[in-house]
């Protein structure tokens, strides 16, 4: 049913290209595929919102639950970043069917005419996760404090720009694109059913196991531990940090929460969201 066996043709430049262009706005972890209908859905994720998780899920769906590609090929090679692909020719070299990842704004995949899966996450948890990621990523400025970082996050002056603009941008395209919206929180509830991929129950169970937080945390092909220390300072923590819903509650003060809620209402008040996060 899902003849995605072209893993050997996937390309990517494993190291040294993980620093996104700081001039780009927030993007989405976008996984795109042109093969069978069930995976024609799009996948977009603002940074720190489930990109890596979706890469893993789609890898397993592509391989019909065969974990070998996910255990032997780094995720940046299985699902290359669109930001790192500089020409149409290079894009074609990624093979077909292809799985790509991006944090680029909505208009890019539209221009490419590809289906997209958009993964969104409660922005409070995004802010916390992204804050911790700044400690790891040597290519991002050291955040002086969570409070200072949160202010930047709300102002949209962090890497990739405004979370609000990014999400609204993609939501605004929903009637024009072949796009599937998924939330990080939904992935926690129902990992495998959201794409409706016709996999056998045993295969689905294997997929769920492989894509669990603990399995991915221990998979060097997914957890970014292969990235050299000049790019990621692994002594500061793990990329696969906690992987839970609602960790913001252990970081936000009541004042920060009130500030965030005000800003969220200003930005997103009239926006029809695919799901309402616990704010």
Which one of 64-72, 110-118, 239-247, 251-259 is the stretch in contact with ligand A3P (CB under 6 A)? 239-247
3-state secondary structure of 112: helix
> For the window 10-49, what string marks contact with ligand A3P as x by the rule CB under 6 A?
-------------------x---------------x-xxx
Binds ligand A3P by CB under 6 A, chosen from 40, 138, 174, 242 = 242
For 254, what's the count of Cα atoms within 13 Å in the CB-facing half-sphere?
0
Q: Are 56 and 222 in contact (CB under 8 A)?
A: yes
For ligand A3P, the closer of residues 47 and 94 by Cβ is: 47
Question: Which 247-276 residues touch ligand A3P, going by CB under 6 A?
Answer: 247
Which one is catalytic: 4, 11, 40, 103?
103
| CB of 25 or CB of 50, closer to ligand A3P | 50
Task: Judge whether 191 and 57 are in contact, CB under 8 Å.
Answer: yes
Q: How far apart are CA 69 and CA 109, in angstroms?
A: 25
- Told to judge if 103 belongs to the known catalytic residues of this protein, a careful annotator would answer yes
Contact region with ligand A3P (CB under 6 A), list: 7-15, 64-72, 79-87, 235-243: 235-243
**How many whole angstroms separate alpha carbon 106 and alpha carbon 92?**
21
Residue 14 burial (10 A CB sphere; 0-12, 13-18, 19+):
middle
Residue 70 CB partners (closer than 8 Å, separation 6+): 56, 59, 60, 63, 78, 210, 219, 221, 222
Is residue 51 a contact point for ligand A3P (CB under 6 A)?
yes
- Does residue 173 interact with ligand A3P by CB under 6 A? no
Q: Which is nearer to ligand A3P, 66 or 125 (CB)?
A: 125
Least separation in angstroms between CB 208 and ligand A3P = 10
Residues 71-110 that bind ligand A3P (CB under 6 A): none
For residues 57 and 207, the answer to whether their CB atoms sit within 8 Å is yes
53 binds ligand A3P (CB under 6 A): yes
Q: How far is the CB of 239 from ligand A3P (least distance, A)?
A: 7
- Residue 48's Cβ-side half-sphere holds a number of Cα atoms within 13 Å equal to 29
CB-CB contact of 58 with 38 (8 Å): no
Q: Please select the residue that binds ligand A3P; options are 167, 211, 227, 232, rule is CB under 6 A.
A: 211
Please list the residues that pair with 182 across neighbouring strands.
Answer: 119
Positions that interact with ligand A3P (CB under 6 A): 29, 45, 47-53, 125, 129, 132, 211-213, 216, 240-243, 247
Show which residues are catalytic: 103
């Amino acid at each position: 049913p899902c003849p995605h066996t072209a893993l050997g043709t996937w390309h990517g430049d494993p190291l040294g290209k993980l620093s996104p262009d700081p001039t780009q706005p927030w993007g989405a972890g976008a996984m795109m595929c042109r093969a069978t209908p069930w995976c024609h859905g799009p996948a977009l994720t603002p940074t720190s919102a489930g990109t890596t998780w979706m890469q893993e899920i789609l890898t397993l769906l592509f391989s019909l639950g065969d974990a070998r590609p996910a255990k032997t090929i780094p995720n940046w090679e299985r699902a290359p970043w669109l930001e790192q692909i500089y020409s149409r020719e290079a894009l074609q070299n990624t093979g077909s069917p292809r799985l790509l990842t991006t944090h680029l704004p909505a208009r890019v995949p539209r221009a490419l005419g590809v289906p997209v899966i958009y993964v969104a996450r409660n922005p409070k948890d995004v802010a916390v996760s992204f804050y911790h990621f700044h400690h790891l990523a040597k290519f991002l400025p050291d955040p002086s404090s969570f409070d200072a970082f949160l202010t930047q996050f709300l102002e949209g002056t962090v890497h990739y720009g405004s979370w609000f603009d990014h999400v609204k941008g993609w939501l605004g395209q929903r009637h024009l694109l072949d796009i599937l919206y998924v939330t990080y929180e939904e992935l926690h509830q129902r990992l495998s059913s959201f794409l409706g991929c016709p996999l056998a129950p045993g295969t689905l169970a294997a997929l769920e196991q492989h894509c669990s937080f603990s399995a991915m945390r221990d998979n060097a092909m997914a957890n970014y531990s292969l990235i050299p220390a000049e790019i990621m300072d692994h002594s500061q923590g793990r990329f696969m940090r906690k992987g839970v819903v609602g960790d913001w509650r252990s970081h936000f003060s009541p004042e920060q929460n009130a500030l965030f809620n005000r800003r969220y209402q200003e930005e997103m008040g009239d926006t029809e969201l695919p799901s309402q996060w616990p704010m």
